[in-house]
Copies of this chain bind each other. A is one copy, B any other.
Amino acid sequence: MFRHTDYLQFDAKPEKPDPVYAHKLQELIGGAYGEMTVTMQYLFQGWSCRMPGKCKDLIMDVATEEMGHVEMTAIMVARLLEGAPATATTKAAAADPVVGAVLGGMDPQQAIVTGGGPLLADSNGYPWNGRYIVASGNLLADFRANAAAEAQGRVQTARLYNMTDDPGVRNMLKFNLARDTLHQNLWLKAIEELQADGLETTVAPNALFDEEYAEHATSVWHLSDGTAGHEGSWAAAPQPDGMHEFGYLLDPEPLGGPGSASAPDPKLYATYDGKQGEPSGPALGTETGLAGKIKDALT
Contacts and interface: CB of A to CB of B under 8 A. Distances in A.
A216 B182 contact: yes
Interface string A1-42: 111111111111100111111011001001111001000100
B208 A87 contact: no
B258 A52 contact: yes
A19 to B, nearest CB: 8
A98 B188 contact: no
Given A27-B108, A68-B1, A239-B185, A55 B232 contact: yes
B109 A136 contact: no
Interface string A236-256: 010111001010000001111
Contacts of A88: 163, 282, 284-285
Interface string A277-295: 0001111110001110111
A248 B290 CA distance: 39
Report the contact-size class of chain A (Cβ under 8 Å from the partner): 35 or more
A199 to B, nearest CB: 5
B71 A109 contact: no
Given A184-B203, A290-B83, A144 B134 contact: no
A212 B180 CA distance: 10
A232 to B, nearest CB: 4
A118 B48 contact: yes
Interface in A157-185: 158-165, 170, 174-175, 177-179, 181-182, 184-185
A134 to B, nearest CB: 6
Nearest to A21: B90
Nearest to A164: B89
Contacts of A184: 202-204, 241
A264 B275 CA distance: 49
Interface string A208-225: 110111111111111111
A244 B181 contact: yes
Given A8-B256, A53-B273, A194-B271, 18 more contacts: A4-B60, A7-B257, A52-B258, A86-B267, A88-B282, A90-B102, A98-B299, A116-B270, A162-B267, A175-B213, A178-B215, A179-B216, A185-B239, A185-B246, A190-B234, A192-B233, A193-B233, A199-B272
B147 A144 contact: yes
Interface in A52-91: 52-58, 60-65, 67-68, 70-72, 74-75, 78-79, 82-91
